[in-house]
Structure 1
Amino acid sequence: MVHFRHRLRALTVGGLALLTAATALPASAAAPDRTDRPSDGGLSAVIRYTEYGIPHITGKDYAQLGFGQGWAQATDQVCTLADGFVTLRGDRSRHFGGDAAPDRSLSAAATNLSSDLHFRGLRDARTVEKLLDRPAPLGPTRQAKELMRGWAAGYNAWLRQNKITDPACRTADWVRPVTTPDVARRLHAITQLAGHGAVVDGTTAPRPQDKKPARTAGALDPAKASRELLVRRGNTMGSNAVAFSGSTTADGRGLLHGNLHYPWQGGARFWQTQLTIPGELNVAGGSLLGVPIVTVGHNADMAWNYTVATGMAMSVYELKTVPGDPYSYLVDGKRERMTKRAVTVPVRGKDGRTTEVTRTQWWTRFGPVTTSMEDIPLPWTAGSVHTLVDPSTDNLRVTDAFLALSKADGVRGVQDALRRTQGLPWVNTIAADSRGHSLYTQSQVLPRVTDELAKRCSTPLGRQVFPASGLAVLDGSRRDCALGNDPDALQPGTFGPAAMPTLVDAPYAENANDSAWLANADRPLTGYPRIFGDIGTTRSVRTRGVIEDVAAMAKRGNLKVADLQRQEFANRAPAGDLAAKDAAKACAALPGGKATGSNGKAVDVSAACDVLAGWDRTVRAGSRGALLFDRFWRALVSSVPEQRLWRVPFSAAAPVTTPNTLNTADPGFARALADAVGELRAAGIALDAPWGEHQFVVRNGKRIPLSGGAHELGIWNVITARWDAQRGGYHDVVHGSSYIQAVGFDGSGCPVARTLLTYGQSSNPLSPHYSDQTELYSAGRMVTSRFCEKDILASPKLKVVRVSER
């Protein structure tokens, strides 16, 4: 069970005596009536801040806990949060113009206008309000709704009682109070990021064409384009996580290491907190902004993390339209009329004047009509139309899933929580507990497309894209092609818990954004439907590197939390281990030490050979040669297909060690080397320049060097940064290592945890917590977690604040 070691103590802060904790209550004493009903009177909470501005929030019930979370998030992130609520109101075009690109944390819309059409359409249809009104378990529980209500009240109270100092929105008229449905809309948008939210541009203004566009020579390969859907998702959000069972650890208890690779700017940032209702809930970890409960983290007995899963969260139905009526379609020969949604958006022009733009969206029994899915064209012709199926459009159970995980007392509790709530949208869950159990499970909301259904009902397009990516394109004109129901699924048309790929009590269970297949390389998971992910195919260099590292750690045994922290900052580059020696040898053999670049000019690359040979195969800040290899490797893998890149091809019998042996005879090798050398020299950058001198961020004028590197290099500690040679190299981080945790258990009820929020708690450059943890990250250090009462009270930075609506 979760241990609570609170005690009654008054602390004097600023001359005021504040109650900082409540008397401990046993779990059996928690009264559902007290925690489930709305709070009487004004809401309040106690927030105790420790080092690095980490808040420990205590509330008497769920509404008051949400209040404290909303207040504290506003303190650190008011401008980022407010910008997100502008998006959810469908008001970006009014304030920022229709053609500008929005922050893509809530959808993949390319323009503000497209984003506004999407979110205003959902508001006009009262989609979220209808989901809030659904009784649990299909709808959110009272506890979840109370958390949302409290969060909105806390955010609003902060706006009323404080002056905004962040220059990003200090004088903005778009910073406004929010409602409970606004908080729910944010959660709803998060669930759809891999589904409807990923194809907003194709659903916001579809129009029928007179005829099907003619295919031209060299048209995009649909199978390749569908694979790119997953690649692009992995290039914006990803993660590593590993759970070690007690058989590998020094004390027989589980260990968890998680590293979320999320954006460093905008609404997809994480934020760190501890949330406590005495006798009811005690959890610490990271929360996505706007979420009223911990998203990943630990309690006294269990730690969990997510990684972005390969499951295809959406599917497509192709419908036959009625001759002469493109707005009607046939199902088993019977005519059905589409639902029309006319959505009006105010748009500010370049002259500052606002006009209204109206677009019509069309919906079918399956979902919205779409005319494209990223690079895959889905034309609406005189004979057919395509419509999207995303089960998460009807999913507002995600808060209950987070809450249930926060309360789970071990791996079995995690499995039970996921089985009861069935609300996680596009992630895997990795967990470890104090009893020594480990878990990997791909328990996500997915459309129930079995392999049999795909084989029987795929359209010609579907037969190309489904094997390649798991994206189903099905014949919607037949009722027997409907998704069907699993007996254990809460939501019709989705897979139930029994279908989820799951691995329990393996010595290690890992994921680095590949499929479930090699969660443990010695215990491969197979037999799951293709829509969950693939089996027997090449793993990414990052997955291969992670498996090599964690398998070696598990074999060595006697693991402790300190070993997890060392792994985080080892910064080994598996691509370097695979290719640098071959590249250096082939470089030395080039005639005259020269190679021809993409521009057709010969480049003297002779100096690069020794640099590549001498590189230590890491991307630590002081590593010399890492930058040269990085620029060479990116140029090579972007121009040479995998089948030409390696001499030894992939083998499913040796998936961690193949493919291997760089094919330096391919013309792309010398070309990539010449391009990398020429690029660095043109920018005045030495070929053996230290990595940290050319990968950095600037915070308040201070340049902070960063270790870590790109996914393509296979780095555990992923950093994806903008490259500009003339500005010194990788000068700003787009996404990468964000909330990092290493958690173990010693039997005391106080977890042994190290955490790091790489970009700090606040995006306000005037905050003391704008870059403090970034400097820790640069130094390869982490924060010692203060979970138990004695540790919180011992903090030398302890600051106690009581916040309330009044």
Structure 2
Amino acid sequence: MINRSIYIATVSLLISACGGGNSYSNTQKPIDPIVDDSAFRAEIRRGEYGMVHIKANDYAGIGYGYSYAFAEDNICTIADVYVTVSGERSKYFGPDASWTMTGNGTTNNNLNSDFFFKLINAEQRVENLMAQAPPLGPLPEAQALVKGYVAGYNRYLRDVGVENLPDPTCRGASWVRPITELDVYRRFYQLALLGSSAVAINGIGSAQPPGPNSLSANTSSPEQIAQQLGEAWQGIQIGSNAIALGSDATANGKGMLLGNPHFPWDGAERFHQAHMTIPGTLDTTGSALFGVPMILIGHTQNLAWSHTVSSAWRFTPYQLTLVPGDPTSYLVDGQPEAMLAQELSVELADGTAVSRTLYSTRWGPVLTEILGLPVFPWTPAAAFALADANALNFRYLNHFVETNRAQSVRELLAIMQRNQGIPWVNTIAADSNGEALYADISVTPNVSDQKALECASPLGVATANTLGLPVLDGSRAACAWDNDADAVQTGIIGPDNMPWLIRRDYLTNSNDSYWLSSPEQPLEGFFRIIGDEGTERRMRTRLGLLMTKQRIDGSDGLPGTKFTRQQMQDLIFNNRHMAAELWLDDLLQLCAVTPGMIGAGGPVQTAEACAVLASWTRRDDLDAPGAVLFRRFVANLFISDVPTGTAASGFGFADVWTTPFDVNDPVNTPSGLNIANPHVQYALASAISDLQGNGIPLDASLRTHATESRGEAKIPMHGGPGGYGLFNAMSNTWSNSDAGYNDVVHGASFVQVVSFDGDECPDTQTILTYSQSTNSESPYFADQTEMYSRKEWVAGRFCEAAVAADRRLSSMEISE
């Protein structure tokens, strides 16, 4: 437990040593940087594009000012979240409706969702974590941020009134209400589970014991289930890129960072941009996920960091052997254990209630499906429970409290090792000293490769081999997760056994495992549950590595051999298309000898389409004819369920390469398009039919046929699907109409390039691609989206002089 008086005294000495300590109101009294006094007060300054600058004497004031400004921008979206985590969606939106957790792509029935969260709340998981002393529970700073956040949010509702909310989406809605600290912590907990239990909300919230006529086993084979799980997991629509440069890779010999998270454009897993300052104590800027009053991706004066979704698994299913004749009891080492029955009730709009009993085991709650797949049936003989490593994780709050003050990658590394709270992402960082960091020190079940094999259930043999996901035997106590001496939490891998690397050239990650973050120094020898090694990388990963290396060795055709800040900005928006670089030459050879092909739409002539592709720039820029056609070709190439009876049936994506993967050349292999594979012809012919059948010209550009709706406006979107080899990932939905691709599902979100130039003010450029507000009537609803379309950036305003120079700056002080 932290001694509060010693902590405050230490911080005060540090403030004095740094010459800090003055608040925004110029008070000269010594301050408590956690809670200055009983009142909440903050200065809220609004800059260009809705940028929020919060200045306060203490952490409570930061939370107070930030939540007030955040509510101005996004009150409806976050109010919906508080309904969700309270288990009240059925009451306000109906039990049969559904909602999507855009951060993991799952669609959840309201009633199942309510029971899922009612179970969490009945078990008082959040309250128990709140009551823990640090590091397991929240630091005093985090507690103060939450107190201030609640006060600021509720102050906004009092000032404006629910009936007068600026966003018509929830104006006057009964489900918009004042919040409590518990509401805020429940949102924190929901985010901690995003990559684990939250992918099984339906499967946990609806799990019921089998009836007398239930099936005795799953009809799919373990190999088929493993394949289904793998495809579904790949379909989770979150990802990211990040490049950290050290002194050997930058023109000025300082560090530089590109942060490029690919998060959803809709829903609550969006970013909100802010700058938070407690003079002498805190000065950090960047973005926060909705409902979190901390900078999660951003920079301080000397450190910049970003995150990419990690390849590690955060959970392991356990297969239970049930007691014969008693489907709510299971055997462990031959002895029966009764499941814990939790009787729950969900209120409906008419005042009636629905009751359901959910069951938990020593391993976790019983589930029946995951990611919409009913692959864990509860039968008279067997059931499955979900063990979640993040079920005890509030440490990520402490991690970000400390990171928001950190000034070097080595300090950041120590924060990760000390808190072990990062729930589901890698960390990539650079500092003014010229060091770059990659680390996957994240919350991961401690299951060695040997244990995954020795404790594998029948399904686990298949999933461990193909996915690295252990499905363990719940009938043996010895199959519990192992413990590392250096782990803060029992059952997770300790930091000494997680991958990390510090270098002075470059480190990258684009959602593949840790293995190739540096091709010059591959990370190897870690448990398979963290990620794979020596295997093929995604095309997006390969392009990021290729472009970085080409800039450093000067083979990209640009002047010099090291990065400037502008060159890093140009790299992310150059819209190079890796699939085109690898395949288009071969595809054009196929065109030259095959004037007619048969695809999903029947026979087509290829001459016009091939001429378009031959003149295409191989970049997904707005005015590059051929980009839409090639995107449809790749989309059809990825389709594995080619109709039987066609020449392409029985062939698929796995057969498209001519040069296979070479572990000694992982950036450049595999390569080449196998035009002898009938699936290639089928994909091109289908792409031609896709466009012609919808009245879209074969030379259509993204400017006219890849757009994002903002009210009545259609904003053109450059970039393209990361899975197709676009580093500038931007995934629109194919509408199967003359519109082509419209409305972004996920992709580049809060993009930042941070360069340290040796002075007190980092040289930063950012773009929040979907803009700052979800309110369609806000001036910040589409402004940055339009800028992204034009490849424009927002200049960072970190130092006080830069903030004050903002011509659009407005200011207000609030207190209570």
Task: Specify the alignment match of 1:85 in structure 2.
Answer: 82
| Structure 1 residue 103: Cα displacement | 3.0
Instruction: Please give the per-residue CA displacement for 1:674-705, whole angstroms capped at 9, x wherever unaligned.
Output: 11111211222111122221111232322221
Task: Specify the alignment match of 1:598 in structure 2.
Answer: 600
2:358 to 338, 358, 361: 361
Residues 410 and 219 from structure 1, CA distance in 2 versus in 1: closer, same or farther, beyond 3 angstroms?
Answer: closer
2:520 to 519, 522, 540: 522
**SS class of match (1:401):** helix
| Structure 1 residue 489: Cα displacement | 0.6
| Structure 1 residue 20: Cα displacement | 4.5
Q: Which segment drifts farther, 637-646 or 237-246?
A: 637-646
Task: Specify the alignment match of 2:479 in structure 1.
Answer: 481
Residues 20 and 59 from structure 1, CA distance in 2 versus in 1: closer, same or farther, beyond 3 angstroms?
Answer: closer
Task: For 1:136-535, list aligned pairs within 5 A.
Answer: 136-162=134-160, 163-209=164-210, 210=212, 212-214=215-217, 216=219, 221-233=224-236, 236-348=237-349, 353=350, 355-374=352-371, 375=373, 377-535=375-533
| Structure 1 residue 506: Cα displacement | 4.8
Residues 766 and 566 from structure 1, CA distance in 2 versus in 1: closer, same or farther, beyond 3 angstroms?
Answer: same
- Given that residues 621 and 692 in structure 1 are in contact (C-alpha distance below 8 angstroms), is that contact kept between their aligned partners in structure 2? yes
Number of matched pairs: 779
Instruction: Please give the per-residue CA displacement for 1:534-582, whole angstroms capped at 9, x wherever unaligned.
Output: 1122211111111111122233333121111111110001111011111
CA distance in 1, matches of 2:192, 2:412: 19
CA distance in 2, matches of 1:116, 1:217: 30
| Structure 1 residue 225: Cα displacement | 2.2
Instruction: Please give the per-residue CA displacement for 1:746-771, whole angstroms capped at 9, x wherever unaligned.
Output: 12111111011011111111111111
Task: Specify the alignment match of 1:799 in structure 2.
Answer: 810
Instruction: Please give the per-residue CA displacement for 1:459-500, whole angstroms capped at 9, x wherever unaligned.
Output: 121111012212111122222221121111110001111111
Task: Specify the alignment match of 2:564 in structure 1.
Answer: 560
CA distance in 1, matches of 2:112, 2:618: 44
Task: Specify the alignment match of 1:46 in structure 2.
Answer: 43
| Structure 1 residue 324: Cα displacement | 2.2
In structure 1, what residue type is equivalent to 2:346?
Answer: V
CA distance in 1, matches of 2:99, 2:223: 27
| Structure 1 residue 4: Cα displacement | 7.9
Q: Which segment drifts farther, 222-231 or 524-533?
A: 222-231
| Structure 1 residue 169: Cα displacement | 0.7
Identity of matched residues, %: 39
**SS class of match (2:404):** helix
**SS class of match (1:430):** strand
Q: Which segment drifts farther, 167-176 or 300-309?
A: 167-176
Task: Specify the alignment match of 1:677 in structure 2.
Answer: 688
1:60 to 43, 50, 57: 57
| Structure 1 residue 215: Cα displacement | 5.1
**SS class of match (1:407):** coil
Task: For 1:682-701, list aligned pairs within 5 A.
Answer: 682-701=693-712
| Structure 1 residue 106: Cα displacement | 7.1
Residues 22 and 272 from structure 1, CA distance in 2 versus in 1: closer, same or farther, beyond 3 angstroms?
Answer: farther
Residues 279 and 330 from structure 1, CA distance in 2 versus in 1: closer, same or farther, beyond 3 angstroms?
Answer: same
CA distance in 2, matches of 1:143, 1:217: 50
- Given that residues 103 and 267 in structure 1 are in contact (C-alpha distance below 8 angstroms), is that contact kept between their aligned partners in structure 2? no
Instruction: Please give the per-residue CA displacement for 1:385-422, whole angstroms capped at 9, x wherever unaligned.
Output: 21111021111111111111111110101101111211
CA distance in 1, matches of 2:449, 2:504: 28
Structure 1: which 4+ aligned runs deviate by more than 4 Å? 1-8, 19-25, 214-220
| Structure 1 residue 24: Cα displacement | 10
Task: Specify the alignment match of 1:585 in structure 2.
Answer: 589
CA distance in 1, matches of 2:507, 2:668: 18
In structure 1, what residue type is equivalent to 2:121?
Answer: R
Task: For 1:750-789, list aligned pairs within 5 A.
Answer: 750-789=761-800
Residues 625 and 579 from structure 1, CA distance in 2 versus in 1: closer, same or farther, beyond 3 angstroms?
Answer: same
Report whether the alignment pairs 1:104 with 2:93.
no
In structure 2, what residue type is equivalent to 1:669?
Answer: V
- Cα RMSD of the aligned pairs, angstroms, is 2.1
Residues 220 and 525 from structure 1, CA distance in 2 versus in 1: closer, same or farther, beyond 3 angstroms?
Answer: closer
Instruction: Please give the per-residue CA displacement for 1:226-262, whole angstroms capped at 9, x wherever unaligned.
Output: 32243022xx111000101111111111100011111
CA distance in 1, matches of 2:49, 2:28: 27
Residues 406 and 701 from structure 1, CA distance in 2 versus in 1: closer, same or farther, beyond 3 angstroms?
Answer: same
Task: For 1:3-42, list aligned pairs within 5 A.
Answer: 20=24, 22=26, 34-36=32-34, 38=35, 40-42=37-39
Instruction: Please give the per-residue CA displacement for 1:350-393, whole angstroms capped at 9, x wherever unaligned.
Output: xxx45322121101111101122333612222232211110211
- Given that residues 696 and 738 in structure 2 are in contact (C-alpha distance below 8 angstroms), is that contact kept between their aligned partners in structure 1? no
Residues 83 and 42 from structure 1, CA distance in 2 versus in 1: closer, same or farther, beyond 3 angstroms?
Answer: same
- Given that residues 286 and 299 in structure 2 are in contact (C-alpha distance below 8 angstroms), is that contact kept between their aligned partners in structure 1? yes
In structure 2, what residue type is equivalent to 1:190?
Answer: L
- Given that residues 4 and 282 in structure 1 are in contact (C-alpha distance below 8 angstroms), is that contact kept between their aligned partners in structure 2? no
Task: Specify the alignment match of 1:13 in structure 2.
Answer: none
Instruction: Please give the per-residue CA displacement for 1:24-61, whole angstroms capped at 9, x wherever unaligned.
Output: 99xxxx86xx234x453331210112111101101111
Task: Specify the alignment match of 2:626 in structure 1.
Answer: 625
**SS class of match (2:529):** helix
- Given that residues 6 and 789 in structure 1 are in contact (C-alpha distance below 8 angstroms), is that contact kept between their aligned partners in structure 2? no
CA distance in 2, matches of 1:116, 1:106: 18
**TM-score, normalised on structure 1?**
0.93
Residues 219 and 498 from structure 1, CA distance in 2 versus in 1: closer, same or farther, beyond 3 angstroms?
Answer: closer
CA distance in 2, matches of 1:70, 1:400: 19
- Given that residues 81 and 267 in structure 1 are in contact (C-alpha distance below 8 angstroms), is that contact kept between their aligned partners in structure 2? yes
CA distance in 2, matches of 1:324, 1:444: 41
**SS class of match (1:378):** coil
**SS class of match (2:748):** strand
| Structure 1 residue 450: Cα displacement | 1.0
Task: Specify the alignment match of 1:11 in structure 2.
Answer: none
| Structure 1 residue 212: Cα displacement | 4.8
Task: Specify the alignment match of 1:724 in structure 2.
Answer: 735
| Structure 1 residue 671: Cα displacement | 1.4
Q: Structure 1: where are the runs of 5+ without partners?
A: 9-18
- Given that residues 255 and 432 in structure 2 are in contact (C-alpha distance below 8 angstroms), is that contact kept between their aligned partners in structure 1? yes
CA distance in 1, matches of 2:514, 2:725: 18
In structure 2, what residue type is equivalent to 1:230?
Answer: W
Q: Which segment drifts farther, 284-293 or 632-641?
A: 632-641
- Given that residues 4 and 279 in structure 1 are in contact (C-alpha distance below 8 angstroms), is that contact kept between their aligned partners in structure 2? yes
CA distance in 2, matches of 1:165, 1:621: 34
Task: Specify the alignment match of 2:645 in structure 1.
Answer: none
- Given that residues 311 and 513 in structure 2 are in contact (C-alpha distance below 8 angstroms), is that contact kept between their aligned partners in structure 1? yes
**SS class of match (1:221):** helix
**SS class of match (2:430):** strand
Report whether the alignment pairs 1:116 with 2:127.
no
**SS class of match (1:119):** helix
Residues 4 and 716 from structure 1, CA distance in 2 versus in 1: closer, same or farther, beyond 3 angstroms?
Answer: farther
**SS class of match (2:98):** coil
| Structure 1 residue 783: Cα displacement | 0.7
- Given that residues 302 and 407 in structure 2 are in contact (C-alpha distance below 8 angstroms), is that contact kept between their aligned partners in structure 1? yes
| Structure 1 residue 290: Cα displacement | 0.2
